[in-house]
Chains A and B, each alone.
Chain A
């Protein structure tokens, strides 16, 4: 097998597994027109806030408290994002403000 073909194969495997993971709930739950069980519906409604919390933690997982530059930019920018959003409730403003602060802080510190 040429190296290119092997690479192509790995890409297909990676794509296939990813698609399977995304499709599994649709293949396994509530097919055939019937509604999914109440338990699954309830989970579907309650998951988004929990998933957002976990994704935020995932994004900030590299935070280290050994040096100022390891935690201040990300945590200050996160606080600014939430603060801006509580103040104006304007999604783009909150994201732009938090991101700009982060980009400034990682250059200054």
Chain B
């Protein structure tokens, strides 16, 4: 286990930076809304969805109802619907760990797992599970820390959450360099930009994913010819 753990720790450093910082921000926000760290532990433990948790604080303090909360969650987290498609067979092959892998498939974990090519000598299943577990742990730890510290943070870490953007950029670049065909990447860029310009920053992401998926589904190339991540 040690080898896999050491490797997974190294792979998840970018998410550690982003999740700790964003988690702390969430814990502070929740604490200021009157809910201490046990609530942060509960929410980050079972909801485990960054931007939705921030929205949830607003719903809670605004006295929202069940239906409004369900609809808001559908709107904000709808993009997660697309992530499982990439790992259908991979997660099923992991047996008992499969439900947890599905539950913990956030944007950041999805990105890391997409980019994952476990080196020889390491158990790939354990490595994937550890990456997912560590990310979850960082998020929960950050939230609880934020709830405990309140607004009295000892240092100014503003901007460290850019690590998340940088992580997506690096994985995008890495996929670009290793792919033989760039149609999927360009389709995503075009769909994202068009939807952003037409629909605005608050509601473009799900239409963009739908548009990209619709454009990518047909296509003559047999799947074997495309760059794939290692099974």
Contact = CB atoms under 8 A, between A and B. Distances in A.
Interface of A: 6-7, 9-15, 17-19, 21-26, 29-30, 35-36, 38-62, 73-74, 77-78, 81-82, 85-86, 89, 91-92, 94-95, 98-99, 102-103, 106-107
Contacts of A59: 164-165, 168
B193 A57 contact: yes
B77 A39 contact: no
Nearest to B49: A18
Contact of A99 (B48, B103, B162, B174): B162
B151 interface: no
Contacts of B7: none
A33 B11 CA distance: 31
Contact of A106 (B158, B164, B196): B158
Contacts of A29: 85, 88
B118 interface: no
B154 interface: no
Contact of A10 (B60, B81, B82, B175): B60
Contacts, number: 250
Contacts of A85: 169-170, 173-174
Interface string B156-197: 001110111111111111111101001111111101110010
B159 A106 contact: yes
Nearest to A53: B188
A98 B18 CA distance: 13
Given A26-B91, A30-B88, A51 B188 contact: yes
Contact of B173 (A42, A43, A50, A86): A86
Nearest to A79: B169
A77 B163 CA distance: 10
B85 A50 contact: no
A18 B184 contact: no
Nearest to A19: B103
B88 A14 contact: no
B137 interface: no
B80 interface: yes
B153 interface: no
B89 interface: yes
Contacts of A44: 85-88
B122 interface: no
Given A18-B48, A22-B81, 4 more contacts: A81-B169, A89-B174, A91-B170, A95-B167
B125 interface: no
B59 A99 contact: no
Contact of B56 (A10, A53, A78): A10
B172 A52 contact: yes
Contacts of B6: none
Contacts of B182: 49
